[in-house]
Amino acid sequence: MTWLNAPSLSVSDIDRLQQNGDIPAIIRILGHKDPVLRLHAAEALGNLGNKAIPFLFDALHSASGMVKIGAITELNTIRDLPTLEPLIRILQKDPVTEVRLAASLALGETGSPEAIPVLVRLLNDESRYIRYGAAEGLVKLGWQPETDAERICQLIAFQDWESVRKYGAAATRPLMDIFRDSDPATRSAIVSILGEIGDTHSQTACPTALKDRDPTVRWKAVLASMNCGVSSSRLPLMLAARERTGPNPYAAAILNFLFLGIGYNYLGITAVLAVHTFYLARRMADSS
């Protein structure tokens, strides 16, 4: 129904769909560009109760991330779901972080012990959002860590860095396991703590952090390098080995040479400008 995303769609239209029991149409509105209409559609689904469950599960296969998040949010309000498998499948396979976060929080609301092992594994996920969702879900399920390693993973998920520090060397392995996190603030915190711990296992983190693309992470690694066993004389060489994030001067010069214009090529000006572009790009390249 193409009118579902029409500007003329109103709250009264959703009320009418609710009265008619047109659950699939309401679910499609979860993907509407207007957040007010999305919210009202979610409320309508909540009013329809358990009869919406099969349709909500079907919506988890939607191509729209917003529809999936809306469907998960409504499943979040329903206790005693007939199966957790669709939510678990989303956590394992969906490429959208927000969708996986919604699923992890929804699992925590189910009250089902079946969700606990799934969420415990997600405490080591590479995304801080998924780790947080898993930790929050486990708290709602009443889960308690059985080992120091599990407790440390939970603290890392909540980014309670001060509590993580207190575990000393026991925190090294869990911290190194998530050093691949895409968030530079998280990587900065990890390398700082590993530098403070300074055991033989954490020493491998500093050389990696010195080559990090983010300048803040690299600086934290420099400060931690003494405790990590990195010689100060080796710092320049290790820092220089990082991946450069600025413009490639060679590529810039070639593009300028080839595409500036036939007339300029004929006059012989392009070569001069290409050389100028090369040196300009070199100055612009990441030097932090």
* pLDDT surpassing 60 at residue 129: yes
Q: What is the pLDDT of residues 52-66, one digit of tens each?
A: 888 888 888 888 888
Q: What is the DSSP letter of 220?
A: H
Q: How confident is the model at residue 215 (pLDDT cuts 50, 70, 90)?
A: confident
Percent of the chain with pLDDT over 90: 27
* pLDDT surpassing 60 at residue 261: no
- pLDDT for position 3: 47
Give me 47's structure tokens: 């009013």
- pLDDT for position 232: 65
User: What is the rounded distance in angstroms from the CA atom of residue 228 to the CA atom of residue 250?
Assistant: 36
User: What is the rounded distance in angstroms from the CA atom of residue 45 to the CA atom of residue 18?
Assistant: 8
User: What is the rounded distance in angstroms from the CA atom of residue 234 to the CA atom of residue 183?
Assistant: 26
Cβ neighbours of residue 128 under 8 Å, at least 6 residues apart? 157, 159, 181, 183, 186
- pLDDT for position 2: 46
- pLDDT for position 265: 45
User: What is the rounded distance in angstroms from the CA atom of residue 192 to the CA atom of residue 51?
Assistant: 52
Threshold 0.85, pTM exceeds: no
H-helix segments, 77-127 = 85-93, 97-109, 116-122
User: What is the rounded distance in angstroms from the CA atom of residue 206 to the CA atom of residue 218?
Assistant: 9
Q: How confident is the model at residue 1 (pLDDT cuts 50, 70, 90)?
A: very low
Higher pLDDT, 190 or 253: 190
Q: How confident is the model at residue 82 (pLDDT cuts 50, 70, 90)?
A: confident
User: What is the rounded distance in angstroms from the CA atom of residue 286 to the CA atom of residue 288?
Assistant: 6
User: What torsion do the CA atoms of 116, 120, 121, 126 make, to the nearest 10 degrees?
Assistant: 130
Q: What is the pLDDT of residues 267-278, one digit of tens each?
A: 444 554 445 544
- pLDDT for position 6: 57
CB-CB contact of 166 with 147 (8 Å): no
Mean pLDDT for the stretch of residues 69-86: 79
* pLDDT surpassing 70 at residue 97: yes
Domains and CATH numbers, the chain: 152-243 (1.25.10), 249-284 (no CATH)
The full DSSP string for 142-210 is T---SSHHHHHHHHHHTT-HHHHHTTGGGGHHHHHHTTT-S-HHHHHHHHHHHHHH--TTGGGHHHHHH
User: What is the rounded distance in angstroms from the CA atom of residue 193 to the CA atom of residue 105?
Assistant: 28
